[in-house]
């Protein structure tokens, strides 16, 4: 048996094992191996510190605005200049859409007067509300495809300067 040939062969195998290990370790840093992520959402344009912010998070078109997969509420105690930033952790990575309510009377429902909303609302992707109809899920959806996804939702009001409280 030739010792130099055996050492060379062993060295090659060791290099292959090391490279395979390094490539495998690197693969764990890629998104398919992490099944959850977090959303960092800033709500802007909030008109008052009265009430709470309510968010419905949807992961399918047949849920959109009627049956959220997840529901969240936050107080406005950390609001500064009409803005609040929240973090939603440990969400499964998939496609989502958000609908937001500035729930000033804390009844977890949009209130109306003469058919017009009296509280603020917003949606992911900040669609135009000039069409006067609810946007489709696909228009406002986004992919949670990273460890963290950050975006802003603008809150809209029919009467932005209405006194509340």
| Nearest residue to 120 via CA among 41, 40, 44, 39 | 44
Q: What is the pTM of this model?
A: 0.78
Nearest partner of 65 among 145, 25, 122, 126, judged by Cα? 122
Side-chain-side CA neighbours of residue 31 (13 Å): 12
Q: Report how far residue 66's alpha carbon sits from residue 108's, in angstroms, rounded to the nearest whole number.
A: 13
What is the predicted pLDDT for the residue at 29? 46
- What are the structure tokens assigned to 157, written together? 């009001």
Interval 127-164: pLDDT, tens: 998 877 899 999 999 999 999 999 999 999 998 888 78
Q: Report the pLDDT value the prediction gives residue 25, as an integer from 0 to 100.
A: 47
Tell which CATH architecture fits domain 35-154: Sandwich (2.60)
> Would you state the structure tokens that stand for residue 50, as one six-digit string?
């009265």
At 90-120, the pLDDT tens digits run 999 999 999 999 999 999 999 999 988 999 9
Distance CA 44, CA 52 (A): 13
Residue ranges of the alpha helices (H) in the chain? 3-27, 137-140
Locus of tokens 């998939």: 94
> Mean pLDDT lowest for which of 10-24, 46-60, 109-123, 137-151?
10-24
């Amino acid at each position: 048996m030739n010792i130099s040939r055996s050492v060379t062969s062993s060295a090659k195998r060791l290099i292959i094992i090391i490279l395979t290990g390094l490539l495998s370790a690197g693969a764990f840093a890629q998104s398919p191996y992490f099944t959850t992520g977090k959303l960092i959402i800033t709500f802007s344009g909030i008109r008052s510190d009265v009430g709470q912010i309510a968010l419905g998070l949807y992961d399918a078109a047949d849920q959109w605005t009627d049956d959220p997969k997840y529901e969240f509420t936050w107080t406005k105690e950390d609001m500064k200049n009409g803005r609040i930033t929240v973090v939603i952790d440990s969400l499964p990575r998939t496609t989502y859409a958000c609908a937001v309510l500035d729930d000033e009377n804390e009844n977890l429902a949009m209130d109306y007067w003469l058919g017009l909303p009296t509280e603020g609302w917003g949606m992911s992707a900040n669609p135009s509300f000039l069409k006067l109809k609810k946007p489709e899920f696909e228009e406002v959806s986004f992919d949670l495809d990273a460890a963290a996804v950050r975006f802003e939702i603008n809150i809209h009001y029919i009467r932005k300067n209405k006194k509340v409280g």
